[in-house]
Structure 1
Amino acid sequence: MVNEGAGMVRAWTVRGGQSGEREQAALSERLAIVGWEELGDLSDCSSSEDIGDLLAKAYPGEAVGTIDNWKRQLWRFIAMEIGDYVVMPRKHLSVVALGLLTGPYEYRAAAPPGFRHVRRMDWVRPALERAAVRGDLRDSMGAFLTVSELSRRDAAVRVQALAKTGTDPGYVGDGEPPNDPEDLVSDVRDSGTRQLTARDLIGLWEWKRRTSDVTDLVDQNLADLGLRVDPHFNDVQLDGLVTVSAAGSTGLREGIHDQVRGDEQQAHSKADGPRDRDLTWRIGNLPFVREVVTVRMGDALSQAITPMIESDFSQLPVVDHNDVLRGVVTWEGIARAQLGSRTATVANALDPHPETARVEHALFDRMGRIQQSGFTIIVDGENAVIGILTSTDLAGQLKQRIEPFILLEELERRLRRLIRHFSTDELPREIRRTMEGGQHLSLGQYIFLVEDAHCWNKLRWPFEQQDISRRLATVRDYRNDLAHWAVDAPAEDAAALAATGGLLKLLKLVDHDPAV
Structure 2
Amino acid sequence: MTGQIPPEPDAGSDLNETKKYLDYLKNSGRPIEIRTLIGYWGNKGRGKVSVATITSDLARMGLRTDPPFDSGPLDSHVTLQGLNGELSPGADDQPEDHLLTLSRIPSASFALRTRDDESDNSGFVRRDSSVADAVTVMLRNDFSQLPVIESEARREIVGVFTWESYAQARLRGDNPILVGSATIPASAVDLHSDLFASVSPIADHGYVLVTYRGQLSGIVTASDLTREFEKLTLPFLAVGRCEQELKRVARVKLSDALAKSKKNSVEELMFGELQQLFKNHWTALGWSLSLTKFDGWLNTTRKLRNSIAHFDNQDQDLSADLEVVHRLTRWLRMIAHEPDQKADDDTAEPIGQTTTAKQ
Indicate the TM-score class for this superposition, using the shorter chain for normalisation: 0.5 to 0.7
The aligned counterpart of 1:393 is 224
State the secondary structure of the residue aligned to 1:206: coil
- Give the 3 Å change call, closer, same or farther, for CA 184–295 of structure 1 in structure 2: same
Q: Which residue of 2 aligns with 1:303?
A: 133
Q: C-alpha distance in 2, partners of 1:490/1:440?
A: 30
Mapped pair 1:334 → 2:166:
yes
Amino acid at match of 2:314: A
The match for 1:284 is 103
The 3 A distance-change label for structure 1 pair 228 and 297 is closer
Deviations 1:443-496 (A, max 9, x none): 474266268552342x68xx776654432221122123234463x438643322
Residues 300 and 489 of structure 1: CA distance in aligned 2, closer, same or farther (over 3 Å): same
User: The residue matched to 2:44 in structure 1 has which SS?
Assistant: coil
Q: 1:421 corresponds to which letter in structure 2?
A: V
Number of the residue aligned with 1:449: 278
Give the CA deviation at 1:184.
1.7
The partner residue of 1:507 within 332, 337, 356 is 332
Q: Secondary structure at the match of 1:230?
A: strand
The amino acid across from 1:185 in the alignment is K
Q: Deviations over 1:297-329 (max 9, x none)?
A: 454433333332343211123333435433322
Match of residue 249 from structure 2: 418
1:476 maps to 302
1:299 touches 1:346 (CA, 8 Å); kept in 2?
Answer: yes
Check conservation: 1:284, 1:360, Cα contact below 8 A.
yes
* Counterpart secondary structure, 1:411: helix
Higher relative contact order (CA 8 A, sep 6+): 2
Shift of 1:432: 6.1
**Are the equivalent residues in 1 in contact too, given 2:46–2:70 (CA < 8 A)?**
no
SS in structure 2 at match of 1:207: coil
Measure, in 1, the Cα distance between the counterparts of 2:257 and 2:47. Answer: 39
CA-CA distance at 1:218 after TM superposition: 5.5
Q: Which aligned pairs between 1:46-65 and structure 2 lie closer than 5 A? A: none
Does the residue aligned with 1:509 lie in a helix, a strand or coil? coil
**Shift in Å at residue 435 of structure 1?**
4.0
2:191 partner amino acid = V
Deviations for 1:154-200, whole angstroms, at most 9, x for unmatched residues? xxxxxxxxxxxxxxxxxxxxxx9744434523314656779756644
**Structure holding more strand per residue:** 1
Look up the SS of the partner of 1:345 in the other structure. Answer: coil
Query: How many percent identity over aligned positions?
Result: 20
Distance, in Å, in 2 between the alignment partners of 1:192 and 1:376 is 33
CA separation in 2, counterparts of 1:285 and 1:293? 18
Structure 2 equivalent of residue 230 of structure 1: 64
Matched, 1:498 2:332: no
Cα gap change, 1:335/1:405 in structure 2, threshold over 3 Å: closer, same or farther?
A: same
C-alpha distance in structure 2 between counterparts of 1:412 and 1:295, whole Å: 49
Any idea what SS the aligned residue of 2:220 has? strand
Which amino acid counterpart does residue 326 of structure 2 have in structure 1? G
Match of 1:313 among 131, 135, 143: 143
Partner Cα separation in structure 2 for residue 423 and residue 484 of structure 1: 31
In structure 2, distance between residues paired with 1:215 and 1:379: 20
Q: Determine if the alignment matches structure 1 residue 205 to structure 2 residue 41.
A: yes
Aligned-partner Cα distance in 1 for 2:18–2:220? 33
Contact kept, 8 Å, 2:161 with 2:183, in 1: the verdict is yes
Say if 2:104 and 2:314, in contact at 8 Å, map to a contact too: no
* 1:353 CA drift (Å): 1.1
Structure 2 unaligned blocks of 5 or more:
85-93, 111-120, 345-359
Kept in 2, the 8 Å contact 1:296–1:318? The answer is: yes
Q: Match for residue 134 of structure 1?
A: none
1:370 maps to 2:199: no
Which among 20, 24, 34 is matched to residue 186 of structure 1?
A: 20
- The separation in 1 between residues aligned to 2:97 and 2:237, in whole angstroms, is 27
Q: Which residue of 2 aligns with 1:440?
A: 269
Matched, 1:347 2:172: no
TM-score by length of 1: 0.48
| Count of residues in Structure 1 that have an aligned counterpart in Structure 2 | 308
Q: What aligned pairs does 1:94-113 form with structure 2 within 5 A after superposition?
A: none
Query: Any conservation in 2 of the 1:356–1:376 contact (CA below 8 Å)?
Result: yes
Q: Per-residue displacement from partner, 1:114-141 (whole Å, max 9, x unpaired)?
A: xxxxxxxxxxxxxxxxxxxxxxxxxxxx
Distance 1:188 1:235, change over 3 A: closer
Task: Name the amino acid aligned to 1:446.
Answer: Q
The one-letter amino acid of 2:43's match is: W
SS, match of residue 343 in structure 1 = coil
Q: 1:367 to 1:177 in 2, by over 3 A?
A: farther
CA distance in 1, matches of 2:250, 2:209: 52
Cα 1:489–1:497 shift into 2, 3 Å: farther
CA distance in 2, matches of 1:455, 1:189: 63
Q: Tell me how far apart the structure 2 counterparts of residues 464 and 363 of structure 1 sit (CA, whole Å).
A: 43
Partner of 2:88: none
TM-score computed with the length of structure 2 as normaliser: 0.66
Q: Is the 8 A contact 1:471 1:499 kept in 2?
A: yes
Residue 106 of structure 2 aligns to a residue in which SS? Answer: coil
Q: State the Cα distance separating 1:401 from its structure 2 match.
A: 0.9
Residue range with higher mean Cα deviation, 367-376 or 304-313: 304-313
Alpha-carbon displacement from aligned partner over 1:413-433 (angstroms, at most 9, x marks no partner): 111111222355557xxx965
8 A contact 1:298–1:346 mirrored in 2: yes
- 2:136 alignment partner, SS class: helix
CA-based RMSD of the aligned residues comes to 4.5
Report if the CA contact (8 A) 2:235-2:322 is conserved: yes
